[in-house]
RNA sequence: GUGGGUGUAGCUCAGUGGAUAGAGCACUGGACUGUGGCUCCAGGUGUCGGGGGUUCAAAUCCCCUCACCCACCCCA
């Protein structure tokens, strides 16, 4: 019989690791709740076209990495490769978008991309993200980055910084895109094959290319800052001001563009500990709600890659103190069957093993499970109407009478 | 999609053509039938990833294949 192994790109989170995940999840959710964010839960499955329209059909995420298939009725559906599209869809569909106010939403869950797995990258991976709808004020851009900054501080991460840039509003972005297209068309022969194709499909992405020849080629090209309208310039300036006021460490990278088509104006990425990969990234998407059939509502958000974040966080798990119940003999086992549930009913953690027969093997088991105390009940104890509690660390033992024993046990926990 | 590395016991890994394939940890039993950890003794640890080939002889060399890891692309 062949053993089953996990499907490529999938991973288990085993019990010891779950404690770390839960710790980080708690830091994340509690932080964003203090900023006024409320959780939204959307399906893992959406219409394929939702992602095509939001992220962009030409993007790598859609063209190469989407988990898409037809269901039994022939509908084109896809596993979500990111969270924003679904949240925007729900924001519109639920009617939340009708109310004129700022909405702050957060989400958490698995995303799917058909990538080649490697360090910090999985086909099913977890993202924690936030979206803020209803204002294009640049201080909101600053606020979400500052919140991210607070999160990395709370998790005690070292050596981190933000890369920020602006792509301009839709007009500026398109104008700049045309300028780049024109500039690079004349120099097409110096570009890599991918970038030659991108001249037509997504010229801005060429700025992000790591190929040295491409870098050299566009190094003389105009930067976005040169062609922005006044509003966009002011927007970015105010955003930077907000970051400075809150001591957020950042660098402007005029070549920072994002792999998703929907971004406008502010974009940013968070790098930690000299890692190559960003652990969080986001930006503003002022026209996405409208593009997906909703009203003209601006928004800004980010997503954190959980696996990448978790690999950088130091955490030493602490277990709640608990008892191991050792019952020897039939009488004792019956007494123990009552006591163990009386204790658990008082929220006192107790483990036992019904199979073990000798005191020696019970104590071995208590030791193995890491119990703080072992409660010992044998025939002698039944006769004397009292039982033994052994401290597993010191070896010290005390006896406690069966009547009103709960309070004595509780004293040990203090 | 491209390139590189690695697959041997439950886990971490030795073993580069030669005998019945090894170590540590873990596991099971015993020394120790009412006191765990420590020590000592004994014991399974096995399709050497799978298939084919070369050879008197293959974990070892060759080919194919699969899986995992790393890097590129891209992304979080």
Query: Which nucleotide minimizes the distance between its C1' and the CA of A205?
Result: B74
Count of C-beta atoms within a 10 Å radius of residue A100: 8
With respect to residue A98, please indicate whether it lies within any of the assigned structural domains: yes
Q: How many residues does chain A have?
A: 414
Chain A residues 37 to 66 whose Cβ lies within 7 Å of strand B are 59-61, 65
Residues A356, A262, single domain; the answer is: no
Is the pLDDT score of A269 beyond 90?
yes
Same domain as A69, residue A97: yes
Q: Phi, psi (5° rounding) for residue A373?
A: -135, 155
- The rounded percent of chain A whose pLDDT value lies above 90 is 67
> What CATH number is attached to the domain comprising A125?
3.30.930.10
Q: Are A259 and A357 found together in one domain?
A: no
A216 lies in some domain: no
Whether residue A383 sits in one domain with residue A277: no
Same domain, yes or no, for A164 and A122?
A: yes
Same structural domain, A257 and A143: yes
- Specify if A400 maps to a domain: yes
Angstrom distance, A8 CA to B57 C1': 38
> What is the pLDDT, as a whole number, of residue A55?
92
What's the total number of domains in chain A?
2
Regarding whether A271 and A402 lie in a shared domain, the answer is no
Same domain, A297 and A345: no
Close Cβ partners of A83 (under 8 Å, ≥ 6 residues apart): A42, A107, A109, A111, A127, A129, A303
Asked whether residue A108 falls in the same domain as residue A239, the answer is: yes
Quick one: A286 and A140 in the same domain? yes
Contact by Cβ (8 Å): A321, A349? yes
A36 lies in some domain: yes
Share of chain A above pLDDT 70, in %: 99
Contact A136, A225 (CB under 8 A): no
Indicate if CB(A3) is under 7 A from strand B: no
Of A259, A286, A312, the last residue of a domain is: A312
Residues A327, A333: Cα–Cα separation, whole Å: 5
Confidence band of A324 (pLDDT split at 50, 70, 90): very high
A210 touches strand B (CB under 7 A): yes
| A371, A308: one domain | no
The answer to whether some atom of strand B lies closer than 7 Å to the beta carbon of A96 is: no
Contact flag, residue A208 CB and nucleic strand B, below 7 A: yes
- Strand B-proximal residues of A, range 212-271, CB below 7 A, are 258-260, 269
Identify the residues numbered 276 to 295 in chain A whose C-beta atom is closer than 7 Å to any atom of strand B.
276-281
Per-residue confidence band for A2, with pLDDT thresholds at 50, 70 and 90:
low
A358 and A271 in one domain? Answer: no
Protein CA A5 to sugar C1' B7 (Å): 15
Q: Read off the pTM.
A: 0.90
Domain boundary among A269, A291, A312: A312
| pLDDT in the model for residue A165 | 94
Report CA(A340)–C1'(B27) in Å, whole number: 29
> Has residue A145 been placed in a domain?
yes
Question: At A264, is the pLDDT very low, low, confident or very high (cuts 50, 70, 90)?
Answer: very high
Domain boundary (A312, A343, A365) is at: A312
Residue A107: inside a domain: yes
Is residue A174, in this structure, part of any structural domain at all?
Answer: no
Nearest CA to the C1' of B68 belongs to which residue? A8
Least confident of A308-317, A388-397, A398-407: A308-317
Alpha carbons A313 and A306: distance in angstroms, whole number = 11
Chain A residues 368 to 397 with C-beta below 7 Å from nucleic strand B = 368, 376, 378-381, 388, 390, 392-395, 397
Is A116 contained in some domain? yes
Which residues 134-173 of A interface with strand B at a CB distance below 7 A?
A: none
Quick: pLDDT tens for A326-374.
999 899 999 999 999 999 999 999 999 988 888 998 999 999 898 999 9
Task: Say which CATH number the domain at A328 has.
Answer: 3.40.50.800
| Domain extent for A367 | 323-413
Mean pLDDT computed over every residue of chain A: 91
Q: Using one digit for the tens of pLDDT, what is the confidence trace for A226-238?
A: 889 999 999 999 9
Question: Which nucleotides of strand B lie within 7 A of protein CB?
Answer: 1-3, 27, 32-37, 67-76
A304 CA: nearest nucleotide by C1': B76
Q: Residue A355 CB: number of other CB atoms within 10 A?
A: 7
Average pLDDT over residues A209-220: 78
């Amino acid at each position: 019989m062949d053993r089953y192994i996990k499907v490529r790109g999938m991973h288990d989170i085993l019990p010891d690791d779950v404690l770390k995940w839960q710790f980080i999840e708690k830091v994340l959710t509690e932080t964003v709740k203090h900023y006024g964010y409320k959780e939204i839960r959307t399906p893992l499955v959406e219409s394929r076209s939702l992602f095509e329209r939001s992220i962009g059909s030409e993007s790598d995420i859609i063209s190469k990495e989407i988990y898409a298939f037809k269901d039994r009725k022939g509908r084109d559906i896809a596993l979500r490769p990111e969270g924003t599209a679904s949240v925007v869809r729900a924001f519109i569909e639920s009617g939340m978008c009708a109310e004129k106010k700022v909405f702050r939403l957060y989400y958490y869950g698995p995303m799917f991309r058909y990538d080649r797995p490697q360090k910090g990258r999985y086909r099913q991976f977890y993202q924690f993200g936030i979206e803020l709808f209803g204002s294009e004020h640049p201080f909101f851009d600053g606020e979400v980055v500052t919140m991210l900054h607070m999160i990395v501080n709370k998790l005690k991460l070292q050596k981190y910084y933000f890369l920020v840039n602006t792509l301009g509003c839709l007009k500026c972005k398109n104008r700049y895109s045309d300028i780049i297209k024109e500039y690079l068309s004349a120099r097409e022969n110096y570009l890599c094959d991918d970038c030659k194709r991108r001249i037509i499909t997504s010229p801005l992405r060429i700025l992000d290319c790591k190929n040295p020849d491409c870098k050299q080629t566009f190094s003389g090209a105009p930067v976005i800052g040169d062609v922005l309208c006044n509003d966009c310039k002011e927007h970015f300036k105010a955003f930077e001001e907000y970051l400075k006021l809150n001591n957020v460490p950042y660098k402007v990278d005029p070549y920072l563009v994002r792999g998703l088509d929907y971004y406008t104006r502010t974009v940013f990425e968070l790098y930690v500990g000299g890692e190559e990969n960003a652990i969080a990234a986001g930006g503003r998407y002022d026209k996405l709600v409208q593009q997906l059939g909703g009203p003209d509502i601006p928004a800004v958000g980010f997503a954190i890659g959980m696996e990448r974040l978790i690999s950088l966080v130091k955490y030493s798990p602490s277990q709640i103190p608990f008892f191991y119940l050792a019952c020897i003999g039939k009488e004792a086992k019956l007494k123990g069957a009552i006591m163990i549930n009386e204790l658990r009913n008082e929220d006192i953690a107790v483990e036992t093993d019904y199979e073990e027969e000798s005191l020696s093997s019970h104590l071995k088991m208590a030791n193995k499970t890491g119990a703080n105390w072992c409660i010992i009940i044998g025939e002698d104890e039944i006769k004397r109407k009292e039982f033994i509690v052994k401290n597993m660390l010191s070896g010290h033992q005390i006896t406690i009478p069966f009547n009103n024993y709960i309070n004595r046990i509780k004293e040990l926990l203090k």
